[in-house]
Amino acid sequence: MIRKHNVNVTGPLAEYADHLWENLLGRGYKPNSGRNILRIVAQLSRWAMKNDVSFLRFRREDLSRFFVSRRRAGCQSFICNEFLDAALGPLEKMRAIRWVKAKSIRLNAFERLFSDYDSYLLKERALMQKTVKIYVKFGQRFLAKFHDSSRLDLRRLKIDDITSFILKESRQFSIGTAKYSVTAIRALLHFLFRMGKMSHDLSSAVPAIAGWRMSGLPKTLDHKEVKKLLEACDRHSLRGRRDFAILLLMTRLGLRAGEVARLSLDDIDWRHGEIVIRGKNQRHDRLPLPPDVGTALARHLSDRGNGAEERTVFLRERAPRRGFCVGGIQVIVSACFKRAGFSRGNCHQLRHTAATQILRRGGSLDDVAQVLRHKSHNTTAIYAKVDLWALRGVVMRWPGGAK
């Protein structure tokens, strides 16, 4: 380990500089990145000494003031979140920094309502945090005109207001987004009725958006295209082995991007050849682990190195070695498509491909529903349209055509 950092840290944080340096290198930071972080720590230490700020009673407002002073001085490197994760977390564990808890903020009626709505969606509806955030966003936009700074008046809410809002949404956004807003507003109105905020349940008054989900065909890859996509991963490199494992999980087991991102070492049962999928609505499903997928995962996990203490299967290459968000997995898949020479491609296309491969091997729609973990068979029904061999048996002969 490189012991010398050559960064002059003065002030109250000086005695912790060497320990922080070793911590950064131990977590996979390169020496240059570690020195950059230590330079910001040095700036923070000098700023605190100059402005008589105590790290034993440090507040979030103090940190914000420090970043404002850096921006005014022309510094632009390292945004707040990166610095918090890299330096302030370890310094807090070393007892170099002790945070003062922020005073509780008094919420107005509008904010309190959506705080309760957020908890309801998470705990009672068991929706994912990302979905809850979207539902709350639509709900706040919908009820914006019914509150002022002091109160929320839902007595003025009429069916015409609901219709007008949905019509406005349908003109502004795509069919998919407009349908999402319909679902979100129905959920909100039902919640308001359950909580006694409204005397009638107006959720049934929300108009539906015209759009037929069964009108098109799912976009899939054929066997040659899947092979081309997988071969574009350089399995002699760490990144290539990681990307190969991600693609196999999606094309063989139909995992969504979020399910790949949430996959943990604890979810893989090597002894019994099974894998636990943490899917939508906090569902946990157990699926068989195909040998080729297991082999790809094993090869990837042997490359983890400094990220071994992290339980997430797929980690970022650069420090801090933590797991990907959903967007990170989507970026990886899009890059794989481009590398293979495709003009475009996405994660859900690979999920559709997994379904069609099951049908081409002689599987049934029930098999597809089980692997993709669909709650309703109506969701699986669209794949009947791509089962061309089965459809040939029900096609009527064209009058006058060849026998």
From 16, 117, 180, 383, active-site residue: 383
Told to judge if 383 belongs to the known catalytic residues of this protein, a careful annotator would answer yes
CB atoms within 10 A of CB 361: 8
CB atoms within 10 A of CB 11: 17
Specify whether the CB–CB gap between 261 and 323 falls below 8 A.
Answer: yes
Told to judge if 374 belongs to the known catalytic residues of this protein, a careful annotator would answer yes
Specify whether the CB–CB gap between 7 and 35 falls below 8 A.
Answer: yes
Told to judge if 351 belongs to the known catalytic residues of this protein, a careful annotator would answer yes
Please provide the DSSP assignment of 61-104 as one string: HHHHHHHHHHHHTT--SS-HHHHIIIIIHHHHHTTS--BPPPPP
Told to judge if 280 belongs to the known catalytic residues of this protein, a careful annotator would answer yes
Sequence-distant (6+) residues with CB within 8 A of 61 are none
> Of 46, 92, 93, which is closest to residue 66 (Cα–Cα)?
46
Told to judge if 106 belongs to the known catalytic residues of this protein, a careful annotator would answer no
Sign of CA dihedral 377, 123, 256, 187: positive
What are the φ/ψ torsions at residue 227 (nearest 5 degrees)? -60, -40
Residue 250's identity, in one-letter code, is: M
From 186, 321, 351, 373, active-site residue: 351
From 186, 256, 300, 352, active-site residue: 256
399 vs 98: CA distance, rounded Å:
84
From 19, 35, 235, 348, active-site residue: 348
From 280, 316, 339, 360, active-site residue: 280
DSSP run (H or E) holding 288? strand 284-288
From 197, 299, 316, 374, active-site residue: 374
Q: Which residues belong to the active site?
A: 256, 280, 348, 351, 374, 383
